[in-house]
Structure 1
């Protein structure tokens, strides 16, 4: 995104295209991590390594949903950050380096 902004391949008005491209990526990656989180809780409960109580399935579902939401939000905000910085007059390339 930063390179495309610098080369003027995309403009500030193309933010929605980038968001639509990043949304499925964030959802897929979040879903993979969510499944890993659910499997970990189920495995630990099954093996007796930790007792989550009688509602362990709800805990696993909450962890899975939270991971999906967090990763999707991170993907979208990370891809929108260069647009926001360029809009307020900062250099997107130098200002986004700490976030990467």
Structure 2
């Protein structure tokens, strides 16, 4: 027959083991969450780097006067001595 003190020690050991297992499970869960967050942040970083590259290319294009003139002409602007001609469908009027 076991002494009462051994029963208490076995109970304390069992509770301690359970506590360690619980802490390990929490750490594994936290590790999985952190890995997911890292993956999301890395994906976002790649997106931002692509966007930054596109903006850098646009800045390089904006330095070209021909590119700027093309953009301005797409908006309908003309030089002082030029006339703006509207493309209208055959038989239609520009006031439609």
User: With structure 2 as the length reference, what TM-score do the two structures score?
Assistant: 0.34
Larger relative CO (CA 8 A, sep 6+): 1 or 2?
1
User: With structure 1 as the length reference, what TM-score do the two structures score?
Assistant: 0.33
More helix by proportion, 1 or 2? Answer: 1
